[in-house]
Structure 1
Amino acid sequence: MPADRHNPAGILTAVFLVGVVCALAGGLRAGAAPQTTLRDRLEEAVRQQVMEGFRKTNLMAEVVAVHLPPNVDRLDPGAALRPLRAFLPRKAAGRYVIPMEIIPQEGAAVKVNTTVECVAVVEGWAARFPMKRGTLIEPEDFQRKKVRVTRREQDYFTADSLPEGFQL
């Protein structure tokens, strides 16, 4: 019967099956080549840099996770600077979870309350963090390390006043 060929239920079933096949194909394609975000690349770069710092100071430690600010994907190099904080446990060995702040790299002064000895740079963003066996170093310690800190820049340092061996 000609009416059977135009069965609405059959047409809907066919459309549904085509949609399912397309969705599965799209899902497989997305799964085959996962997109890495700026956050993923920064977190991995920071993890690698911290591990390298641990190796250089003979710390038997493992970086478990790096937590970046929730808005890291929306930050722009002209964003307002925030105080930089990173905390490491006091013990010299173990597993570390490191909270991070991301700051602009290009020509930016960085408000600091700790010494920084490592940096991870990904796509123009620098993640800086203290690496001093888990202790926090105050800004006045920069002067003992002969880092140029003027009265006006007491809470800041720039690319030409970084600790020895620190490069961007």
Structure 2
Amino acid sequence: MSTDEKKKSPWLPPRWFIRAAWWFHRRLYAAGGARFLRRPRAGRAGMLRLTTVGRRTGQERSVIVSYVPDGSGYATLAMNGWADPAPAWWLNLQAHPEARVETVEGGVREVRAREAVGPERDRLWELLAAVDDGWGELDDFAARRSHPTPVVVLEPTGPE
């Protein structure tokens, strides 16, 4: 790897730090509820609580994910701190696509998850890349993975 390539590679904290930060954030959000969620605004993604059904346990599991609004739904990335394995919530959604989201502006909504493909994926990738959510250069981070990062669409299934 040349010096120029090393400069272009985005910096990530050590894996243990990322996992510790997730642990802390899960407890913070569990204790604080929706008040720690945020609305999307120009140049910044929103944060929502996604509740899935565990693919093995059948128990509800909640996680906080960044998102951008897309019509009446939401788009997010199925990433695991840019590590190669898929996040558990995405594996859960692949097994049981019905889920629940909680946002600051919309309360709790039932959604159905699916992976965006083709032109829709490209369009949503550009929307996600346009927000500054600590992702930096999205394409550079995504290049660290051995497979494409899924773009997940969460579509409301009922009335707002």
Query: What's the TM-score once normalised by structure 2's chain length?
Result: 0.29
Which has more strand, going by share of residues? 2
TM-score, normalised to structure 1, is 0.29
Structure scoring higher RCO (CA < 8 A, sep ≥ 6) equals 2
